[in-house]
Structure 1
Protein backbone atom coordinates (compact mmCIF):
# COMPACT_ATOMS: atom_id res chain seq x y z
CA UNK A 1 0.00 0.00 0.00
CA UNK A 2 1.04 3.53 -0.73
CA UNK A 3 -0.57 6.78 0.29
CA UNK A 4 -1.67 9.34 -2.25
CA UNK A 5 -3.57 12.59 -2.24
CA UNK A 6 -6.41 12.54 -4.75
CA UNK A 7 -9.63 14.30 -5.63
CA UNK A 8 -12.33 13.57 -8.16
CA UNK A 9 -10.45 15.26 -11.00
CA UNK A 10 -7.55 12.81 -10.52
CA UNK A 11 -9.88 9.94 -11.36
CA UNK A 12 -11.95 11.70 -14.02
CA UNK A 13 -8.91 12.89 -15.98
CA UNK A 14 -7.52 9.36 -15.98
CA UNK A 15 -10.78 7.95 -17.37
CA UNK A 16 -10.99 10.71 -19.99
CA UNK A 17 -7.52 9.80 -21.28
CA UNK A 18 -8.89 6.83 -23.21
CA UNK A 19 -5.48 5.53 -24.28
CA UNK A 20 -4.07 5.44 -20.74
CA UNK A 21 -7.30 4.08 -19.27
CA UNK A 22 -7.62 1.33 -21.90
CA UNK A 23 -3.99 0.31 -21.41
CA UNK A 24 -4.43 -0.02 -17.65
CA UNK A 25 -7.77 -1.81 -17.99
CA UNK A 26 -6.16 -4.28 -20.40
CA UNK A 27 -3.31 -4.99 -17.98
CA UNK A 28 -5.71 -5.39 -15.06
CA UNK A 29 -7.93 -7.73 -17.06
CA UNK A 30 -4.94 -9.85 -18.10
CA UNK A 31 -3.78 -10.11 -14.46
CA UNK A 32 -7.23 -11.27 -13.36
CA UNK A 33 -7.75 -13.70 -16.26
CA UNK A 34 -5.76 -16.45 -14.57
CA UNK A 35 -6.71 -19.19 -17.04
CA UNK A 36 -6.14 -16.93 -20.06
CA UNK A 37 -9.48 -17.71 -21.70
CA UNK A 38 -10.34 -14.06 -22.37
CA UNK A 39 -13.14 -13.89 -19.80
CA UNK A 40 -13.40 -13.50 -16.04
CA UNK A 41 -15.30 -16.09 -14.08
CA UNK A 42 -16.85 -15.28 -10.70
CA UNK A 43 -13.91 -17.03 -9.04
CA UNK A 44 -11.29 -15.08 -11.00
CA UNK A 45 -13.02 -11.81 -10.17
CA UNK A 46 -13.34 -12.84 -6.52
CA UNK A 47 -9.64 -13.74 -6.34
CA UNK A 48 -8.73 -10.43 -7.98
CA UNK A 49 -10.75 -8.45 -5.49
CA UNK A 50 -9.28 -10.63 -2.74
CA UNK A 51 -5.84 -9.16 -3.43
CA UNK A 52 -7.18 -5.76 -2.44
CA UNK A 53 -9.93 -6.74 0.00
CA UNK A 54 -9.56 -9.59 2.52
CA UNK A 55 -12.37 -11.69 1.06
CA UNK A 56 -10.75 -15.07 1.60
CA UNK A 57 -11.19 -15.17 5.34
CA UNK A 58 -14.60 -13.62 5.73
CA UNK A 59 -17.03 -14.88 8.33
CA UNK A 60 -20.18 -16.64 7.16
CA UNK A 61 -22.55 -13.64 7.48
CA UNK A 62 -20.04 -11.44 5.65
CA UNK A 63 -19.53 -14.17 3.03
CA UNK A 64 -23.23 -13.92 2.23
CA UNK A 65 -22.85 -10.16 1.72
CA UNK A 66 -19.82 -10.67 -0.54
CA UNK A 67 -21.62 -13.38 -2.52
CA UNK A 68 -24.58 -11.02 -2.98
CA UNK A 69 -22.21 -8.29 -4.17
CA UNK A 70 -20.72 -10.56 -6.83
CA UNK A 71 -24.20 -11.62 -7.91
CA UNK A 72 -25.15 -7.95 -8.36
CA UNK A 73 -21.93 -7.28 -10.30
CA UNK A 74 -22.69 -10.10 -12.72
CA UNK A 75 -26.35 -9.08 -13.06
CA UNK A 76 -25.29 -5.52 -13.89
CA UNK A 77 -22.22 -6.07 -16.06
CA UNK A 78 -22.56 -9.50 -17.69
CA UNK A 79 -24.54 -7.95 -20.53
CA UNK A 80 -24.61 -11.09 -22.69
CA UNK A 81 -25.65 -13.27 -19.73
CA UNK A 82 -22.99 -15.93 -20.33
CA UNK A 83 -21.83 -16.03 -16.69
CA UNK A 84 -18.47 -14.39 -17.42
CA UNK A 85 -17.13 -10.86 -17.69
CA UNK A 86 -15.46 -10.18 -21.04
CA UNK A 87 -12.98 -7.33 -21.66
CA UNK A 88 -15.67 -4.82 -22.72
CA UNK A 89 -17.85 -5.69 -19.73
CA UNK A 90 -14.79 -5.36 -17.48
CA UNK A 91 -14.05 -1.93 -18.96
CA UNK A 92 -17.63 -0.86 -18.19
CA UNK A 93 -17.42 -2.27 -14.65
CA UNK A 94 -14.07 -0.57 -14.00
CA UNK A 95 -15.21 2.77 -15.37
CA UNK A 96 -18.38 2.75 -13.28
CA UNK A 97 -16.44 1.80 -10.14
CA UNK A 98 -13.87 4.53 -10.78
CA UNK A 99 -16.57 7.16 -11.35
CA UNK A 100 -18.29 6.06 -8.12
CA UNK A 101 -14.98 6.54 -6.29
CA UNK A 102 -14.61 9.99 -7.86
CA UNK A 103 -18.08 10.97 -6.66
CA UNK A 104 -17.28 9.66 -3.18
CA UNK A 105 -13.96 11.48 -3.00
CA UNK A 106 -15.37 14.78 -4.23
CA UNK A 107 -13.42 17.91 -5.06
CA UNK A 108 -11.49 18.27 -1.81
CA UNK A 109 -8.07 16.60 -1.69
CA UNK A 110 -8.17 13.36 0.29
CA UNK A 111 -5.26 11.23 1.45
CA UNK A 112 -5.87 7.55 0.80
CA UNK A 113 -4.02 4.28 1.22
CA UNK A 114 -3.90 2.92 -2.33
CA UNK A 115 -2.92 -0.59 -3.46
CA UNK A 116 0.11 -0.30 -5.74
CA UNK A 117 -1.55 -2.29 -8.57
CA UNK A 118 -4.97 -0.66 -8.35
CA UNK A 119 -6.64 1.47 -10.99
CA UNK A 120 -6.80 4.28 -8.45
CA UNK A 121 -3.00 4.17 -8.19
CA UNK A 122 -2.83 4.27 -11.99
CA UNK A 123 -4.99 7.42 -11.89
CA UNK A 124 -2.53 9.01 -9.45
CA UNK A 125 0.41 8.02 -11.65
CA UNK A 126 -1.43 9.43 -14.67
CA UNK A 127 -1.90 12.75 -12.87
CA UNK A 128 1.81 12.80 -12.03
CA UNK A 129 2.69 12.09 -15.66
CA UNK A 130 4.15 8.67 -14.97
CA UNK A 131 1.87 6.87 -17.43
Structure 2
Protein backbone atom coordinates (compact mmCIF):
# COMPACT_ATOMS: atom_id res chain seq x y z
CA UNK A 1 0.00 0.00 0.00
CA UNK A 2 1.17 3.52 -0.71
CA UNK A 3 -0.15 7.01 -0.21
CA UNK A 4 -0.41 9.50 -3.07
CA UNK A 5 -1.51 13.10 -3.24
CA UNK A 6 -3.64 14.13 -6.20
CA UNK A 7 -5.82 17.04 -7.25
CA UNK A 8 -8.10 17.78 -10.17
CA UNK A 9 -5.22 18.48 -12.54
CA UNK A 10 -3.86 14.96 -11.94
CA UNK A 11 -7.12 13.45 -13.15
CA UNK A 12 -7.55 15.91 -16.04
CA UNK A 13 -4.02 15.20 -17.28
CA UNK A 14 -4.77 11.47 -17.27
CA UNK A 15 -7.96 11.96 -19.29
CA UNK A 16 -6.28 14.27 -21.82
CA UNK A 17 -3.33 11.91 -22.33
CA UNK A 18 -5.05 9.95 -25.10
CA UNK A 19 -2.51 7.14 -25.26
CA UNK A 20 -2.69 6.27 -21.57
CA UNK A 21 -6.40 6.99 -21.22
CA UNK A 22 -7.39 4.86 -24.22
CA UNK A 23 -5.14 1.99 -23.14
CA UNK A 24 -6.62 2.07 -19.65
CA UNK A 25 -10.19 2.21 -20.95
CA UNK A 26 -9.55 -0.63 -23.41
CA UNK A 27 -8.13 -2.82 -20.63
CA UNK A 28 -11.03 -2.03 -18.31
CA UNK A 29 -13.64 -2.64 -21.00
CA UNK A 30 -12.04 -5.97 -21.89
CA UNK A 31 -12.20 -7.02 -18.23
CA UNK A 32 -15.92 -6.16 -18.12
CA UNK A 33 -16.75 -7.82 -21.46
CA UNK A 34 -16.86 -11.31 -19.99
CA UNK A 35 -18.22 -13.08 -23.05
CA UNK A 36 -15.94 -11.08 -25.39
CA UNK A 37 -18.74 -10.02 -27.74
CA UNK A 38 -17.59 -6.39 -27.88
CA UNK A 39 -20.39 -5.00 -25.70
CA UNK A 40 -21.13 -4.91 -21.99
CA UNK A 41 -24.60 -5.73 -20.72
CA UNK A 42 -25.68 -6.13 -24.36
CA UNK A 43 -25.75 -2.35 -24.85
CA UNK A 44 -22.49 -0.53 -24.08
CA UNK A 45 -19.78 -0.61 -26.72
CA UNK A 46 -16.14 0.43 -26.14
CA UNK A 47 -16.64 3.97 -27.48
CA UNK A 48 -19.63 4.63 -25.24
CA UNK A 49 -17.71 3.21 -22.27
CA UNK A 50 -14.78 5.56 -22.94
CA UNK A 51 -17.09 8.52 -23.41
CA UNK A 52 -18.99 7.92 -20.17
CA UNK A 53 -15.81 7.21 -18.18
CA UNK A 54 -14.29 10.42 -19.51
CA UNK A 55 -17.34 12.37 -18.28
CA UNK A 56 -17.15 10.69 -14.87
CA UNK A 57 -13.43 11.30 -14.43
CA UNK A 58 -13.71 14.93 -15.55
CA UNK A 59 -16.54 15.41 -13.05
CA UNK A 60 -14.27 13.97 -10.34
CA UNK A 61 -11.50 16.33 -11.47
CA UNK A 62 -13.85 19.31 -11.31
CA UNK A 63 -14.98 18.25 -7.84
CA UNK A 64 -11.40 17.96 -6.62
CA UNK A 65 -10.40 21.28 -8.13
CA UNK A 66 -7.00 22.46 -6.96
CA UNK A 67 -7.41 21.09 -3.43
CA UNK A 68 -5.01 18.17 -2.98
CA UNK A 69 -6.26 14.99 -1.36
CA UNK A 70 -4.34 12.07 0.11
CA UNK A 71 -5.30 8.57 -1.00
CA UNK A 72 -4.11 5.18 0.22
CA UNK A 73 -3.80 2.84 -2.77
CA UNK A 74 -3.20 -0.86 -3.11
CA UNK A 75 -0.13 -1.49 -5.28
CA UNK A 76 -1.75 -4.42 -7.10
CA UNK A 77 -5.01 -2.62 -7.96
CA UNK A 78 -4.83 -2.34 -11.75
CA UNK A 79 -8.39 -1.10 -12.23
CA UNK A 80 -8.28 2.09 -10.14
CA UNK A 81 -8.36 5.05 -12.52
CA UNK A 82 -7.24 7.52 -9.86
CA UNK A 83 -4.22 5.31 -9.19
CA UNK A 84 -3.46 5.27 -12.91
CA UNK A 85 -3.72 9.06 -12.99
CA UNK A 86 -1.32 9.35 -10.04
CA UNK A 87 1.09 6.86 -11.63
CA UNK A 88 1.09 8.81 -14.90
CA UNK A 89 1.80 12.07 -13.08
CA UNK A 90 4.62 10.43 -11.11
CA UNK A 91 6.14 8.99 -14.29
CA UNK A 92 6.10 12.41 -15.95
CA UNK A 93 7.78 13.97 -12.91
CA UNK A 94 10.55 11.38 -13.04
CA UNK A 95 11.14 12.03 -16.75
CA UNK A 96 11.07 15.82 -16.34
CA UNK A 97 13.36 15.84 -13.31
CA UNK A 98 15.76 13.08 -14.32
CA UNK A 99 14.83 10.50 -11.71
CA UNK A 100 15.70 12.75 -8.79
CA UNK A 101 18.86 11.30 -7.18
Tell me which interval the TM-score lies in, with the shorter structure as reference length: 0.7 to 0.9
Alignment partners' CA distance in 2, 1:87 and 1:20: 15
Structure 1-normalised TM-score? 0.62
- State how 1:116-127 maps to structure 2 within 5 Å: 116=77, 117-127=79-89
- State how 1:1-131 maps to structure 2 within 5 Å: 3-41=3-41, 84-114=43-73, 116=77, 117-129=79-91
Query: 5+ residue gaps in structure 1?
Result: 42-82
Q: Secondary structure at the match of 2:91?
A: coil
Q: Secondary structure at the match of 1:5?
A: strand
Alignment partners' CA distance in 2, 1:127 and 1:99: 16
Query: 5+ residue gaps in structure 2?
Result: 93-101
C-alpha deviation, 1:113, in angstroms: 3.9
C-alpha deviation, 1:9, in angstroms: 0.6
